[in-house]
Amino acid sequence: MRKIFSERNIVVILFVLVLITFSLAQEESKKMEKIYPVVNAVTASHLLVHQPVIKVQGKAASGLSSSPAE
């Protein structure tokens, strides 16, 4: 009798499940972008402005000022 759950069949099933999951997640993220367009823009600009700065021997490693006011 032939095995139904061979290693190859399990890999194919998992791959299809991953594709389905990512497509559903993409659709849901598009819905959320339509519902909350302002929040996404504010969050993105906040992340760009407030980058973490790592100090190495008293100097800013990223070249940015360590004070948030500047």
* Residue 60 parent element (H or E): strand 59-60
Map residue 11 onto helix, strand or coil: helix
pLDDT score of 5: 76
Tokens of 5: 């759950």
Q: CA-based angle 26:29:16, to the nearest 5?
A: 25
Instruction: For residues 51 and 68, give the distance between their C-alpha atoms in angstroms, rounded to a whole number.
Output: 9
Per-residue pLDDT of the chain (70 residues; tens, 9 = 90+): 577 779 999 999 999 999 999 999 999 998 888 887 766 666 666 666 665 556 666 555 555 555 555 4
What residue spans define the domains of the chain? 7-60
